[in-house]
């Protein structure tokens, strides 16, 4: 209910449109995108066609999104985020298990493999979590997404968004992880896949 | 503002012209194989229907509707301008001031109306505030360029554009309550000039005027299209406060300044490495791609019309009494 109101509002603010032609895959999907603003997952969530929006869950840092009542309610109730720990990772406290169980429940994930927001607009090297996730759940389709200008709408450390026009570009699914492909090669291939969708600088 | 018969006739004329364009486009598309140019043509015609509908509704809503409509357009135009203008993080707070304070406050003064504040709010107060806010943010890289870009965006997309709704306030003797037609006239002649220059340019255009800036603008297109648009304007003299000959002169002024305004905005666009200002209007590009020629023609037309009829905007729309009370609140007590 609330989602049906919030999504158009977000699209209006960020100047982006619903991606009507986005294919609905049979298998689960992992959206991988560059990260520069708190708006990032909200905007991807808002431009997805409703059929895809209901089955996607952003992966967000538990230490940030569990703080404060409003933030927590937003993250868990509205966006149904998979809140993962960034610190004290152990066998019992493993972010991968949470993601795998979401994928196992036929839920798509929105993942920002850079791990943190980039301040300079470039796409930073991807963290190894994506590689381990794909190795443990090879059936998932990996779809690169490029986000532009969102860091200008709401930069790191600011609270008031400015109505600049953002852009969301969805790519075609990545070729699955090769048998002999190394971790570094795979992560770099994914990073390039996201980066290549952006406007040339 | 009441809607008079002549205004309805103007609207009727536009709807007939658009219907003709729709039929012709459909006929051409049936007789020829599809090409990107034809696809674009029919997109453009469809978008014109939507634009005329919104423009018409705003006029029908009267003064408040018109000012709200142009404040909205101003917002969309400025948004496109700022999106293409690279602004670093140091400008974030300045941008918030521009979008959420300067733009609405300017349109409030325009709507009120308080004429001298409408005239100076942006050139004085906004232009003082913008560099101050950016300097306080502490980023000095390209400071002058950044400030100039923001100021230019506010000047064109907010200040110049707001002259269009101000047409409603020109106190012309014997034309009271009919100013909506003046606004209609300015928009119609400028847009007709754009369209006719485009058509005549496509048909007979040979000599580009400024190929580096805008390869589509040709001397033949300007002369034939511009004359045709001036002819349209002259034929509509009965809807304006002007007699036929001055109406012809004012139409030529709109054509010429509109053309040059479009050229300047194209140059700005090129310098920002873009082909279109945005993707807001299918077939046309962004909102600014449609408004560019009006940005320059509106303020010039407004003032020249003011001189012609020797209007006294200052006296008609003087400082409102409540403002004195804000500056000297003790007068409330004494």
pLDDT above 90: residue B157: yes
CB distance B278 to B83 below 8 Å: yes
DSSP SS3 for A60: strand
Residue B80 has pLDDT above 60, yes or no: yes
Nearest by CB to residue A164, choosing from B83, B93, B100, is B83
Helices (H) and strands (E) in chain B, counts: 16, 0
Of all residues in chain A, what percent carry a pLDDT higher than 90?
40
pLDDT score, position B38 = 84
Phi, psi of A108 (to 5 degrees): -75, 155
pLDDT in tens, A3-51: 788 888 888 888 888 877 888 888 899 999 999 888 898 999 999 998 8
List alpha helices for chain A, DSSP H.
2-14, 39-47, 50-53, 62-65, 69-73, 95-104, 129-136, 150-153, 183-195
Q: Quick check: B45 pLDDT over 70? A: yes
CA distances from B321 to B5, B28, B64, B107, B330 (A): 36, 60, 21, 19, 14
Closest CA to A145 of A198, A201, A196, A194: A194
* A36, A38, A117, A163: best to mutate for the B interface, most B CBs within 10 A: A163
* Closest of A114, A143, A111, A142 to residue A126, by C-alpha: A114
Taking only the tens place, the pLDDT of each residue in A95-125 is 888 899 999 999 999 999 998 888 777 899 9
Question: Can you give the pLDDT at residue A200?
Answer: 66
B320 to chain A nearest CA, in Å? Answer: 32
The distance of A95 to chain B (nearest Cα, Å) reads 32
According to the per-residue pLDDT averaged within each range, which of A87-91, B139-143, B241-245 is highest?
B241-245
Cβ neighbours of residue B289 under 8 Å, at least 6 residues apart?
A: B276, B277, B278, B281
The sign of the torsion formed by the CA atoms of A152, B272, B37, B203 equals: positive
**Dihedral angle sign, alpha carbons of residues B90, B96, B102, B107:** positive
Per-residue pLDDT band at B1 (split at 50, 70, 90): very low
pLDDT of residue B300: 97
Predicted TM-score (pTM) of the model is 0.89
Residue A201 pLDDT > 60: no
- pLDDT attached to residue A57: 93
pLDDT at residue A74, as a whole number: 84
CA angle A154, A160, A164 (to 5 degrees): 50
Note if the bond before B79 is cis, omega within 30 degrees: no
Inter-chain CB proximity B99 and A165 less than 8 Å = no
Please tell me the predicted confidence (pLDDT) of residue A79. 87
Indicate the pLDDT class of residue B301, thresholds 50, 70 and 90: very high
Instruction: Please provide the average confidence, as pLDDT, over all residues in chain B.
Output: 92
Q: Is the complex ipTM more than 0.85? A: no
Closest-CA residue of chain A to B91: A152
Helix axes B103-111, B62-84, angle to 10 degrees: 150
pLDDT the model gives residue A45: 92
Q: pLDDT at position B197, please?
A: 94
The pLDDT, as a whole number, for residue B2 is 53
Structure tokens at A48: 């997805």
B-chain CB neighbours of A149 within 8 Å are: 83
Residue A70: per-residue pLDDT: 86
Q: How far is CA B21 from each of CA A102, B1, B14, rounded to the nearest angstrom? A: 54, 31, 10
**What's the mean pLDDT in A133-159?**
90
Q: How far apart are CA A191 and CA A186, in angstroms?
A: 9
- Residue B180, pLDDT > 80, answer yes
For range B260-272, the mean pLDDT = 93
Q: What is the pLDDT of residue B3?
A: 58
User: What DSSP state is assigned to residue B218?
Assistant: B
Please give the share of chain B, as a percent, with pLDDT higher than 90. Answer: 72
Q: Give tens-digit pLDDT for B160-174.
A: 999 999 999 999 999
Chain centroid to Cα B13, Å, comes to: 21
């Amino acid at each position: 209910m609330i989602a049906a109101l919030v999504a158009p509002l977000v699209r209006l603010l960020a100047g982006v449109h619903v991606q009507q032609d986005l294919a609905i895959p049979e298998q689960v999907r992992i959206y991988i995108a560059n990260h520069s603003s708190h708006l990032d997952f909200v905007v991807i969530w808002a431009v997805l066609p409703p059929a895809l929006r209901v089955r996607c869950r952003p992966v967000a840092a538990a230490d940030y999104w569990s703080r404060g009542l409003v933030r927590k309610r937003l993250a868990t109730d509205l966006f149904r985020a998979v809140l993962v720990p960034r610190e004290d990772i152990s066998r019992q406290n493993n972010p991968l298990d949470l993601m795998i169980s979401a994928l196992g429940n036929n839920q798509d994930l929105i993942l920002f493999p850079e791990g943190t927001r980039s301040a300079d607009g470039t796409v930073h090297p991807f963290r190894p979590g994506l590689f381990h996730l794909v190795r443990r759940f090879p059936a998932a389709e990996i779809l690169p997404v490029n986000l532009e200008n969102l860091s200008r709408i709401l930069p790191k450390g600011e609270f008031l968004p400015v109505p600049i026009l953002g852009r969301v570009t969805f790519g075609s699914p990545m070729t699955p992880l090769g048998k002999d492909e190394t971790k570094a090669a795979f992560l770099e291939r994914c990073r390039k896949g996201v980066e290549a969708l952006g406007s040339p600088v | 503002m009441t809607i008079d018969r002549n205004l309805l006739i103007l609207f009727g004329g536009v709807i007939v012209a658009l219907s003709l364009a729709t039929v012709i486009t459909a006929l051409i598309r049936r007789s020829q194989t599809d090409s990107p140019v034809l696809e674009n043509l029919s997109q453009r015609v469809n978008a014109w229907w939507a634009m005329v509908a919104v423009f018409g509704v705003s006029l029908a809503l009267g003064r408040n509707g018109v000012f709200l409509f142009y404040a909205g357009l101003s917002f969309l135009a400025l948004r496109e301008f700022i999106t293409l203008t690279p602004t670093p993080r140091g400008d974030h707070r300045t941008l918030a001031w521009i979008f959420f304070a300067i733009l609405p406050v300017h349109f409030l003064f325009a709507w009120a109306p308080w004429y001298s504040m409408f005239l100076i709010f942006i050139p004085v107060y906004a232009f003082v505030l913008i560099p101050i806010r950016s300097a306080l943010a502490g980023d000095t890289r390209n400071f002058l360029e950044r400030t100039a870009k923001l100021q230019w965006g506010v000047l064109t997309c907010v200040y110049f554009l707001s002259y269009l709704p101000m047409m409603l306030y020109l106190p012309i003797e014997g034309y009271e309550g009919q100013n909506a037609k003046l606004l209609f006239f300015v928009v119609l002649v400028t847009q007709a000039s754009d369209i006719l220059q485009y058509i005549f340019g496509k048909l007979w255009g040979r000599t580009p005027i400024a190929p580096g800036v805008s390869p589509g603008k040709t001397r033949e297109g300007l002369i034939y299209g511009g004359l045709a648009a001036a002819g349209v304007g002259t034929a509509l003299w009965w809807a304006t406060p002007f007699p036929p000959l001055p109406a012809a002169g004012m139409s030529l002024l709109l054509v010429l300044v509109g053309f040059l305004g479009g050229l300047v905005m194209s140059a700005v666009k090129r310098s920002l490495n873009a082909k279109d200002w945005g993707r807001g209007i299918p077939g046309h590009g962004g909102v600014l791609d449609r408004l560019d020629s009006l940005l320059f023609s509106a303020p010039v037309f407004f003032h020249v019309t003011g001189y012609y009829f020797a209007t006294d905007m200052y006296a008609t729309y003087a400082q409102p009494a409540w403002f004195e009370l804000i500056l000297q609140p003790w007068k409330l007590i004494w």
